[in-house]
Amino acid sequence: MDHQIPRRDLLKKVALGAAAVASAKAFSKHHENSSAMTGSSPLKRNIHHSACRWCYKGIEFEELCIKGKVVGLEAIDLVGVDEIPTLKKHGLAASLVWGVPGGIVKGLNRLENHDAIVEFFAATAPKVAAQGAKRMIVFSGNRDGLDDEQGLENCKIGLERIMPIVEKQNVQVVMELLNSKRNHPDYQCDHTSWGVELVKRVGSEQFKLLYDIYHMQIMDGDVIDTIRENHQYFGHYHTGGVPGRNEIDETQELYYPAIMQAIVDTGFDGYVAQEFVPSWEDPIAALAHGIRTCDV
């Protein structure tokens, strides 16, 4: 089969990419920094700000890099290894790399999934490290009738195969805590206590939890005290408005400045990534607002 790109399609791709960059550069010139856009003082930077790529599907990646940096981003989350050079070109980091086989549903809680996942880390972790990135994501998978104790043991077995690979590369693996009530039915790592127990059993500084504030508000609540009591097991944070997973503003039940202050008080020096789905007409303005809200 001929895999060459037709000349007409290639020219179209080039034109679209150039238009995206031109638009983003015009935006950047108009808004020289985040304070110019928001009318606020410069960011405090006690929180290292990131945002999840998938929430901005309607924006070309390079455009998101340029506009995101203007409003205060230091990194972008949930990117592939092949996207890291574009981030570096614009002075941004890859705060979390994804691509693990099986995704959310088919994870480490099933022994039959281990070989493919371990092979992925063996092939990808050195590339991640070579690009200067520090963190990769993994998932427990769905229960599908598996009890929680067996799920813990199976995940531990899989992670013990992964740890020597990532420890050699100084890359951290985080397992995301997700809600099984509204968004990810049957997902096993759906409570902080289950995830914390797994981190304890694995016993490596290169394995932590991704504490997703949106998801854990739905499942556990008690967010600030949970962070204070378990922060040593958390390697990464995500935001999101509850209910609805939209902007972290006055329409929802969480007060993010207090949550962020609790994170800062723990001495956390990693990234907090905005993972709300913008509902405002201007998604970059929504992102800027989220960054400002979290900048304590």
**Tokens for 137?**
């994501």
In the three-class reduction of DSSP (H, G, I as helix; E, B as strand; rest coil), residue 238 is classed as strand
Determine the pLDDT at residue 41: 86
Beta bridge partners of 97: 79, 136
pLDDT-derived band at 11, boundaries 50, 70, 90? very low
Distance CA 152, CA 281 (A): 43
Residue 6 has pLDDT above 50, yes or no: no
Q: 79 lies in a domain?
A: yes
Averaged over 93-108, what is the pLDDT?
98
Residue 17 has pLDDT above 70, yes or no: no
Q: 219 lies in a domain?
A: yes
Residue type, 40: S
Q: 170 lies in a domain?
A: yes
Q: Which of 235, 245, 112 is nearest to 184 (CA)?
A: 245
Of residues 3 and 276, which shows the higher confidence score? 276
SS3 content of the chain, % helix, strand, coil (to 5): 50, 15, 35
Q: 288 lies in a domain?
A: yes
**Tokens for 242?**
């509850």
**Tokens for 37?**
């856009």
**Tokens for 207?**
């394995």
- pLDDT tens sequence across 45-55: 999 999 999 99
Q: 1 lies in a domain?
A: no
Tell me how many domains the chain contains: 1
Q: Which of 95, 134, 97 is nearest to 271 (CA)?
A: 95
Determine the pLDDT at residue 283: 98
Q: Residue 174 sits in a domain of what CATH number?
A: 3.20.20.150
Beta bridge partners of 174: 137, 208
Specify the pTM.
0.89
Averaged over 249-259, what is the pLDDT?
97
Averaged over 66-95, what is the pLDDT?
98
Determine the pLDDT at residue 35: 47
Residue 227 has pLDDT above 80, yes or no: yes
Q: 2 lies in a domain?
A: no
Q: What is the DSSP letter of 6?
A: P
Q: Give me the domain span that covers residue 152.
A: 7-294
Of residues 43 and 28, which shows the higher confidence score? 43
Q: 212 lies in a domain?
A: yes
- pLDDT tens sequence across 174-223: 999 999 999 999 999 999 999 999 999 999 999 999 999 999 999 999 99
- pLDDT tens sequence across 136-180: 999 999 999 999 999 999 999 999 999 999 999 999 999 999 999
Q: What is the DSSP letter of 209?
A: E
Residue 106 has pLDDT above 50, yes or no: yes
Determine the pLDDT at residue 40: 62
Contact (CB, 8 A) for 171 and 125? yes
Q: 133 lies in a domain?
A: yes
Mean pLDDT, the chain, whole residue set = 90
| Cα pseudo-dihedral 181, 186, 187, 189, rounded to 10 | 80
Q: Which of 38-47, 56-65, 210-219, 232-241 has the lowest mean pLDDT?
A: 38-47
Distance CA 138, CA 252 (A): 29
| Cα distances (angstroms) measured from residue 219 to each of 79, 212, 273 | 26, 11, 20
Determine the pLDDT at residue 69: 98
- Percent above pLDDT 90 for the chain: 86
Residue 36 has pLDDT above 70, yes or no: no
